Structure 1
């Protein structure tokens, strides 16, 4: 087993305790990434991951520690290994030294929390930023990155028409886009929108495929993806930093009558796949990102959950069905046939 895999097995609950956090009911802690009085960040010990239902921050145990201690992912990995893996030899790794996992790391993070000290609040100029980001990307000349992204999206079965319908775009020249946004908007506004990190950099450096989320015709959220399969230390997807996720393709809901069925998927690509085949669909972004207030958006339609073909997906579908039932909404659960991992995989490879 490689070092990253070993570190990802380190208990995120233990790390949180050592950082001075007190676990509350349902493994919740006060989120260190935004100010709050009621704990909304949940630790998932079975996967050693976390998700904040207040600001949308999520990741694995390495990302959790890296963001709190404000250092690179690789540095955090070595520090966790040195603190928790018996017999770990640091060898030639000397960068910044290796420090202990202590509550002082949390205090240091709190002192440096960036621009918006309160919980995230959507403002209309955030959409201005997202839409200018999309505009400048769409105006970039074609290059190999753009071609690789298109080839990948077509390999997932998407037609040019559906890519245009959902306004998928690609960051083909990171430096040009980064410079344009910095020259166009105030850095604090860029950081508050979640598009820039605390170091003043555009966050979508390794994730050039951008999926915009629209609400009443305006972009209110962004999700990005790597081209192809990610390497071990890069996540497949990246979301806006510190910004709560929105419901993908939600603008179709007000247009549908009471007899229509809406499929609810985990990922945006699954939603796009169903739409391409003539179905009405929305996406949660991830099964861990569901917000109870979304349920009331479905009161006029029939709902079918069509989640990934794994235990987490099946469990989430049952839980959400119970939540929707509390709002008097009729639901059913669709199952991806055995042998297929998700909706996109099924439609792409079915016979």
Structure 2
């Protein structure tokens, strides 16, 4: 089961390898070839070469090599078929499949993508030009969004009307409903799913639109946030807002920044941090971590300090073990989100990332900050709470490092703390002290 061989050849020949690779790294012509920084590993001197005539690339640093299909497969972490399909879409070739049912499934997804592309453009133009979007434009300006930001992120406006989108796009009602853009009305027709909301399009890693995040206007009808419902394209437990923009910098820095909202991602980008992504109205999941580790091994949580500290330790350590990632926490000022800090104190936002700590270290610091370390009783309680947090870590050597840290900060004997840890005599007071 797969794509017909003849169509694979057509796609390979039609795709311009220099144009495809230039979307990920800047190439400069050198003689008959092209050269640039390798998009697969961080480097300061160009070691990446592209031969346009032969349609191949090679990195003298990391030995990555192949043709245009190989490049797309590796850079976007797709299988062979997915890479061919992505290229086929870009060059306007309709591929055929050896399996009829597979072809029908792919055709359905293609129709959903087409209607999503049209919806993104329609909503975006409404925001830019429609008289009824004036309040939305003022709201965005007040939040620090200039015209360049609005255009880059294709932000849109859903009018406060029953079916303007449905009537404007002219797509079959069922396709609109399947894409999460419409819902069945009481009379059996199709109404718009989003109304009176600022819309942030959500893209897949390849940059194709798959859904929307809708933000209620001040004084509007709740809920405050409304996302596209589950569709064949959009699964909120798997999708990360901003991944299409963040992945290239994440590869260069070996790190993703994970935040809570669309505006946080945009705020990070505004201060030069292009590797931020956000979950779409859900907690970080195993699927999210599995996706991110394809590009980078370090994940920095840039949440509100209280929610970051209360993240389930067992789940974090399982991610570190299972997916071979390192989870760290950026200590943002209490009550401040990245979007606000990007406007009011960008240096503080950058410092929070530079000073990000391993998850357990962050928890220990929070425990100590909440404790009264000026009294023997306060230091003892802080040590008990910290030991409960330390006991949750699966590595004996990591536990011992933090035991020594707690001993030093609480003026206690490290051997006594080790003995208490070994005996299981610590009380699970972590949540009380940190919360």
**Fold match by TM threshold 0.5:** yes
Report the Cα distance in structure 1 between the residues aligned to 2:330 and 2:166, rounded to whole angstroms. 42
Over 3 Å counting, the alpha-carbon distance change for 1:161 and 1:139 in structure 2 is: closer
Q: Is the radius of gyration larger for structure 1 or structure 2?
A: 2
Which residue matches 1:221? 211
Cα deviation for residue 195 of structure 1 reads 1.3
Which residue matches 1:137? 123
Which residue matches 1:211? 200
- 1:88-117: CA deviation from partner (whole Å, max 9, x where unpaired): xxxxxxxxxxxxxxxxxxxxxxxxxxxxxx
2:134 corresponds to which of 147, 161, 173: 147
Over 3 Å counting, the alpha-carbon distance change for 1:135 and 1:259 in structure 2 is: closer
- 1:275-316: CA deviation from partner (whole Å, max 9, x where unpaired): 11111201112343x3312212332422211013444x5323
Cα deviation for residue 154 of structure 1 reads 1.9
Report the Cα distance in structure 2 between the residues aligned to 1:297 and 1:192, rounded to whole angstroms. 25
2:303 corresponds to which of 296, 303, 307: 307
Flag structure 1 segments of 5+ consecutive residues without an equivalent: 1-120
Cα deviation for residue 255 of structure 1 reads 2.1
- Structure ranking higher on relative contact order (CA contacts 8 Å, 6+ apart): 1
Report the Cα distance in structure 2 between the residues aligned to 1:145 and 1:136, rounded to whole angstroms. 14
Q: Report the secondary structure of 2:113's partner residue.
A: helix
Q: Report the secondary structure of 1:296's partner residue.
A: helix
1:330 corresponds to which of 326, 329, 333: 326
Cα deviation for residue 171 of structure 1 reads 2.6
1:269 aligns with 2:263: yes
1:186 aligns with 2:172: yes
Report the Cα distance in structure 2 between the residues aligned to 1:238 and 1:291, rounded to whole angstroms. 19
Which structure has more helix as a fraction of its residues? 2
Q: Does the 8 Å contact 1:224/1:239 carry over to 2? A: yes
1:196 aligns with 2:153: no
Report the Cα distance in structure 2 between the residues aligned to 1:229 and 1:151, rounded to whole angstroms. 14
Does 222-231 or 259-268 show the bigger shift?
222-231
2:277 corresponds to which of 270, 279, 282: 282
Q: Does the 8 Å contact 2:157/2:196 carry over to 1? A: no
Flag structure 2 segments of 5+ consecutive residues without an equivalent: 1-106, 349-435
Structure 1 outlier segments of 4+, above 6 Å: none
Q: Does the 8 Å contact 2:268/2:276 carry over to 1? A: yes
Q: Does the 8 Å contact 2:123/2:156 carry over to 1? A: yes
Over 3 Å counting, the alpha-carbon distance change for 1:273 and 1:316 in structure 2 is: same
Report the Cα distance in structure 2 between the residues aligned to 1:247 and 1:339, rounded to whole angstroms. 23
Cα deviation for residue 239 of structure 1 reads 1.1
So what's the TM-score if we normalise by structure 1?
A: 0.57
Which residue matches 2:228? 240
Which residue matches 2:244? 251
- 1:107-139: CA deviation from partner (whole Å, max 9, x where unpaired): xxxxxxxxxxxxxx9822222111111222344
1:127 aligns with 2:123: no
Which residue matches 1:114? none
Q: Does the 8 Å contact 2:184/2:191 carry over to 1? A: yes
1:343 corresponds to which of 338, 342, 355: 338
Over 3 Å counting, the alpha-carbon distance change for 1:144 and 1:253 in structure 2 is: closer
Report the Cα distance in structure 1 between the residues aligned to 2:282 and 2:147, rounded to whole angstroms. 27
- 1:2-39: CA deviation from partner (whole Å, max 9, x where unpaired): xxxxxxxxxxxxxxxxxxxxxxxxxxxxxxxxxxxxxx
Over 3 Å counting, the alpha-carbon distance change for 1:324 and 1:258 in structure 2 is: farther
Q: Does the 8 Å contact 2:261/2:279 carry over to 1? A: yes
Number of matched residues?
A: 223
Cα deviation for residue 333 of structure 1 reads 0.6
Q: Does the 8 Å contact 2:116/2:210 carry over to 1? A: yes
